[in-house]
Structure 1
Amino acid sequence: MKTIFITGASSGIGRETTRYFAEHGWRVIATMRNPQKAGSLSALPHVVVLPLDLTNPKQIRETSRKALDAYDVDVLFNNAGYGIMGPFEKLPEHEIRKLFETDVLGTMLVTQQFIPHFKARKGGAILTTTSLAGIIALPRDGAYGAAKRAQQGMVESLYYELKPFGVKVAAMIPGGTSTHFQTPVNILDGYEEAAARQRAYLLDGNAAFPGPEQAAETVWTAVNDGRDQLNYPTDRVCRKLYEQYQGMDIEDFKTYFYDRIFGASAAEASFPQ
């Protein structure tokens, strides 16, 4: 039986991916800061719930070792994390440090625990949930976007390091997903209209953001498609905007995006064909 180790499995993309893989016959090691939040996941066949707080290096080592000693893990899915938003100068220092300790350092420390295992077995996959904010810089995302770009940098570097060992490394990139994603700091202060326009831009004509089901299916695809692919937009919102960004010169995009969010004609702006 194949095995996937998932961080941040108590909600959102992590929870849905746990359910999806379990229903497709995989063993899922579903880790979360508070295992009591596992709820119905614990009743799914072949789901093992373990505690994992990304701000606790000792627990990262212990939980990773427990999983690797018991199972031949095929996939590590770094999914745990949260966001903060606000004008850059208004973000408290302690919140920035906490964000990086969780999203960046915690993810790196988990990944380090699994690399020797994947090198030794000469196969498997390491997937990490980053964000469209790690690809396209967005207003009020100066700290969160920087954290996600740090994750993107880790992913890209590991792609080169682990490809000779037959290990796939890829980024799962949500654009806008309807989940209970945590943003404990969300400051508007003067950017109210820009935030509303940005939301409309990300929704791209849809009434709501897609649910985590699309992301779970994308994780499944990344694991099973056999493709040498680095970035996987995980939903329809991200897919269109990611392709748009990739297809434009960065200087042209910045002008387009600024006009879309802040310009006088932003409300009437349309995507370039």
Structure 2
Amino acid sequence: MYKTIFITGVSSGLGKATAKLFAKKGWTVIGTMRQPEREKEFTEFPNVHLLKLDLTDKKEITLVAEKAEKISPIDVLVNNAAYGLMGPFEGTTDDQLVGQINTNFLGTLLVTKAFLPFFRKRKKGTILTITSSTANIPYPFVAAYAATKSALETWTEGMAYELKGFGLQIKTVVPAYMQTNFGKNAQLVHHPEYQEIFDGYLTSMKADSSAKRDTPESIADVVHKAVTDHRIQLHYTAGELSTTEYGWVQRDGIEKVMDSMNQRFFGHNE
């Protein structure tokens, strides 16, 4: 029996790949983006419905949840929408920090909260949030972004207690860097006192850009598995890099891992 999935942030990358995968498998897909009128690729899928949503607009979140439920009762919610904030933390403006937290963290919580009454009434539903391997191993100059993703991991664990009695499942999928425009679309922050080391870090990251990355399509397969396998499992590492990094920190501990990261990016050990 085909079901209905609601996915935030389907304009590109993992969100778009996930929407296409579920649509091809016969699901009713309700996807959100800031400017759905610009989207052309989903026209080939009659089972895909696009809605406008800005995660920083609390009223719009409530209205979109109600509108989605009228299209088709939601079986699976995928919290995918997010963006990166990269650069020295001291250089971030207050507005940039508020925007990062409101989109990546608070927006996810509010979308979930908007759907919970429907899930709870039906006593079924799966909530899946896309986090990041930076929650396990923070990279330099993405501290605020990594913090939002780490917070979502812990929030998911805490929510599992509350939702179990209603027959609801909550999970995360944890990918690392993928072959997407995520990095190009990130907000870059600068501060003169950090510019030299930040430039050095960006040079190191660009040198790694030729390395093989997981594709959004391969991570979408993990999303499909997580919402259909009926396993009581909170977190799914997704892709080769994320799996490798998780094993690394479990084996060596965060201090040794960060020592290696310092050597890799800055040429010195701490």
Instruction: Tell me the TM-score normalized by structure 1.
Output: 0.89
Aligned equivalents of 1:225 and 1:57: distance in 2? 32
Aligned equivalents of 2:87 and 2:9: distance in 1? 24
Q: Deviations over 1:28-58 (max 9, x none)?
A: 0011111123212132131111111101111
Higher relative contact order (CA 8 A, sep 6+): 2
Q: Does 1:185 align with 2:188?
A: yes
Q: Secondary structure of 2:140's partner?
A: coil
Aligned AA for 1:189?
Q
Q: Return the offset for 1:152.
A: 1.8
Tell me the residue number matched to 1:270.
none
Q: Does 1:260 align with 2:264?
A: yes
Aligned equivalents of 2:103 and 2:110: distance in 1? 10
Are the aligned partners of 1:10 and 1:37 in contact in 2 as well (CA < 8 Å)? no
Aligned equivalents of 2:134 and 2:143: distance in 1? 9
Instruction: Tell me the TM-score normalized by structure 2.
Output: 0.89
Tell me the residue number matched to 2:55.
54
Which consecutive residues of structure 2, in runs of 5 or more, have no partner in the other structure?
none
Q: Deviations over 1:157-180 (max 9, x none)?
A: 112221232222111112011112
Aligned equivalents of 2:64 and 2:186: distance in 1? 26
Q: Return the offset for 1:200.
A: 6.1
Tell me the residue number matched to 1:84.
85
Alignment map for 1:189-228 (pairs within 5 Å): 189-190=195-196, 191-197=198-204, 207-228=211-232
Q: Return the offset for 1:5.
A: 0.2
Alignment map for 1:99-114 (pairs within 5 Å): 99-114=100-115
Aligned AA for 2:71?
A
The number of residues matched between the two structures is 263
Q: Deviations over 1:139-163 (max 9, x none)?
A: 1012111121222222121122212
Percent identical residues: 39
Which consecutive residues of structure 1, in runs of 5 or more, have no partner in the other structure?
266-273
Are the aligned partners of 1:118 and 1:167 in contact in 2 as well (CA < 8 Å)? yes
Q: CA RMSD in A?
A: 2.1
Aligned AA for 1:215?
I
Aligned AA for 1:82?
Y
Are the aligned partners of 1:42 and 1:49 in contact in 2 as well (CA < 8 Å)? no
Aligned AA for 1:80?
A
Alignment CA distance shift 1:258-1:264 (3 Å) = closer
Q: Return the offset for 1:110.
A: 0.4
Q: Return the offset for 1:186.
A: 4.9
Q: Deviations over 1:69-121 (max 9, x none)?
A: 33221100000110110011111221111111111111111010111222222
Tell me the residue number matched to 1:247.
251
Q: Return the offset for 1:198.
A: 5.2
Aligned equivalents of 2:123 and 2:244: distance in 1? 34
